[in-house]
Chain A
Amino acid sequence: MSKQHPDVPFAITLDIGSSLANRTGNWRTERPVYLDRLPPCNNACPAGENIQAWLGQAEEGDYEAAWREVMRNNPLPAIMGRACYHPCEGACNRSALDEVINIHAVERFLGDQAIEKNWGPAVEAAPSGKKVLVIGAGPSGLSAAFHLRCQGHTVTIHEAGPVPGGMMRFGIPAYRLPRDIVQAEIDRILAMGVALELNHTVEDIQTEMKNGGFDACFLAIGAHLAKRVDIPTPDAGKILDAIGLLREMETSDNPPLLGRRVVVYGGGNTAIDAARTAKRLGAEQAIIVYRRTREMMPAHDFEVDEALAEGVILNWLTTIKEIDDSGSFVVEKMVLNDEGWPEPTGEFDTIEADSLVLALGQNVDTGFIAKVPGVEIAKDGVIQVGPDMMTGFEGLFAGGDMVPSERTVTVAVGHGKKAARHIDAWLRGERYEHPPRHELADTDKLNTWYYADAPKTVQPELDVIRRQTSFDEVHHGLDETNALYEARRCLSCGNCFECDNCYGVCPDNAVIKLGPGKRFEFNYDYCKGCGICAAECPCGAIEMIPETV
């Protein structure tokens, strides 16, 4: 209480006091709290990357820190920035403003920087004394090997092929994924002390584990057996499968002979890749024949568009019946029935072609795995695993294309990480528990007013003529200016980016700024709970919660 002066007029008898004596915080019925919400991009990433975090680091120009953040979850950024179908972008909140962030292009830029600058991960964990066998050097096996190695385990990969990479080499063509990039990222994993035995086809898992003294095994052999259909033909030599074709592109010095006119049968990405490869091998005509409609093709739209631009022809609602004695392909027109399924019409036509490439999907070679006691084969001939990626056999884990999944490089990498965490815990006799997920930062949590317009950067493409004739990479990367620009478009959904808005807008000075990198704190002595800070936080990093009385 202020001191009173008896000999001066009343209005100035009291010493001046500060309103700080008045704790207006007790007016509050709701309190603001800072929180980190889950950005939709992170939520959608099958490899579980913290995209928002690394875009934030890239935005400040610290590309190495950004790359290291990517590497925490995904050891193949340069590959993924090219091959991944980027479901993150499909979820990106920026679509509500203008266009999504070109996340994969920034990831690719970071990956390429790392290769150029020779950044490498360091194994910091102490040796665990445990040995883990990884079977298959595809993305899933490589990812598991990387994470297991980071955890301090001794890792050996047994790979059937003459080169590592799996479908990143034997499937995805070089014009989408240059081989020096694949090799550089694999070499980096091997340089961490991961042993790789090539040309080593595993046929008996239990014996290999016993002989090698392995404590656990991660199985990631992919799905390599091409599915076939029976098409009567006088000359079986005319029919080959897409997987075989693409693999041969990689392993043989002489490109396969397909002739001038090639028909590819199927509607998935493999069919597109086979047709585009045929074009590049010199085919004048590459026709994709597909049973259903273009909209129903499992292939991604952008890949179909790219193929069309390169001159690939699409022939949908068509099935191939036979190759007749004169070598003509007899095809039947289909029509969609009321349920949307294709039905034969009885209308026939012929296509003249020199070869037929089947791209009808792949099966898993489960033969030698089924022999392991306890292992279950699920529907569609894939291996059943639990939520911890473990098969029915203790200590045998599996992931990637060979387990029920979407069959992408990214899912495979995610499985590798997940399996490594569970293997690591299992080796210590524990169970891995995933930390609870944060609430999703969807568009309605944002206040987009504060973000200026900034349309997305388009990656330049190789011109069409060179695309039709060479295996040069179709998409170019971003340069530094563009990558920086792109990273800065990110809204930082759900995670404070220190824009100072809450600090600025509080009518009660109840937000304390702690300084760069330290974020903010509420001063609940004075916060009246008006909620302006939460309403004006651009990225949804403040929540109002009821006060408990």
Chain B
Amino acid sequence: MSDMTAEQKVKFYQKGTFTAGNRLVDQARRSVQASMERSNAITSGHRACQGCGEALGARYALDAAMRATEGQLIAVNATGCLEVFTTPYPETSWQVPWIHSLFGNAAAVASGVAAAMRVKGREQVRVVAQGGDGGTTDIGFGCLSGMFERNDDVLYICYDNEAYMNTGVQRSSATPPTARTATTPAVGPEPGNVFGTGKNLPLIAMAHNIPYVATASVANLHDLERKVEKAVAIRGARYIHIFVPCPLGWGSASHDTIRIARLASECGLFPLFEAEHGEVTGSIPIRRKVPVEEYLRPQKRFAHLFKDGGGERIARLQRMADANIKRFDLLREAEEAPL
């Protein structure tokens, strides 16, 4: 009790450590989103639903990329909600150079744009390709795998809302087991999407041994921005998979978008990690662990789990979460509160 200053490990920025900004820290340590100068890559007036996680995630990612490239950025977009709600001809919400071609070819178009920039000697212009989970994990997968395999100089960002939302919530290979979609109704002995199907694109991307792969979430802005910045600084093929809740498709309240994304990571179902050249290099530890039920309950697509006989399916989902927790060591003590 003698010398308090010596004993007290003073952390200065407690108040609002995890918020977008923190008026007590240097501007440089605040998020891009806290800045009055952020580029607002997607400006107001877009037609995304109330509380759209994809609109938010795309602005987070592209604003961060814009800052990191000092505005030298071209975005390529696959078909999907993000394209449709931002760009109903002839209006656009994009405040960055932006090109759309088809549903399945964003990675290939981006490879082309990057090649064109290289040929023109404008290699300072960086290329981001973006698409939904359907456009990425299913129809665009061939193009994307090629882009990885050739190590083309493109950052591909997938906004994962776990189904084909733009056409009315059909199942994709990123739809989780038990989720109800228009094509996986909550009926029969295995209601919703079945267990044992689907693919994990971040792990598949890692298998291509590309320089950088990461998962991110709209619930962790600082982590997301850091990963985008890091990815932008690397040359070659890079992949970021961002978790973006969809109030419409998931049957959740519009104000719960960030909360649900947070619960997805805190229960272990959506681990936040990054990998370089095929090796996991880091993960974000869980801060307040919750059982999967807490994540599932606010979403109508999982409502059947809370009726008769849902318990066993919830237990299976919990085992998936537990496996992630183990695999990515998510319950270790945080080294230091990330800012």
Contact = CB atoms under 8 A, between A and B. Distances in A.
A3 B86 CA distance: 20
B69 interface: no
A54 to B, nearest CB: 14
A145 B302 CA distance: 65
A513 B44 contact: no
Nearest to A13: B90
Interface stretch (B14-22, B145-153, B177-185, B200-208): B14-22
Interface residue tally of chain B, by bracket?
Answer: 35 or more
A500 B22 CA distance: 7
The secondary-structure label for the interface of chain B is: loop
The secondary-structure label for the interface of chain A is: loop
Given A488-B14, A497-B15, A18 B258 contact: no
Given A450-B16, A534-B255, A504 B21 contact: yes
A59 B34 contact: no
B15 A492 contact: yes
Interface string A469-497: 00000000011011011001111100001
A302 interface: no
B36 interface: yes
Contact of B50 (A458, A489, A529): A529
A451 B15 contact: yes
Nearest to B44: A526
B92 A500 contact: no
B92 A16 contact: yes
Interface string B93-106: 10000000000000
Contacts of A523: 44
Interface stretch (A22-30, A125-133, A166-174): A22-30
A474 to B, nearest CB: 12
Contacts of B91: 16-19, 21-22
B86 A19 contact: yes
B51 A19 contact: no
A488 B45 contact: no
A501 B19 contact: yes
Interface in B297-323: none
A180 to B, nearest CB: 23
Interface string B38-82: 001011111110111101100100000000000000000000000
Contacts of A481: 5, 8, 10
B13 to A, nearest CB: 7
Most buried by B among A479, A525, A534, A536: A536
Contact of A451 (B18, B33, B44, B254): B18
B23 interface: yes
Contacts of B33: 500, 503-505
B21 to A, nearest CB: 3
Given A450-B16, A536-B258, 9 more contacts: A450-B19, A451-B17, A452-B13, A454-B11, A457-B4, A458-B4, A479-B4, A488-B13, A532-B254
Interface of A: 2, 11, 14-24, 27, 59-60, 449-454, 457-458, 460-461, 478-479, 481-482, 484-485, 488-492, 497-501, 503-510, 513, 515-516, 523, 525-526, 528-532, 534-536, 538, 544
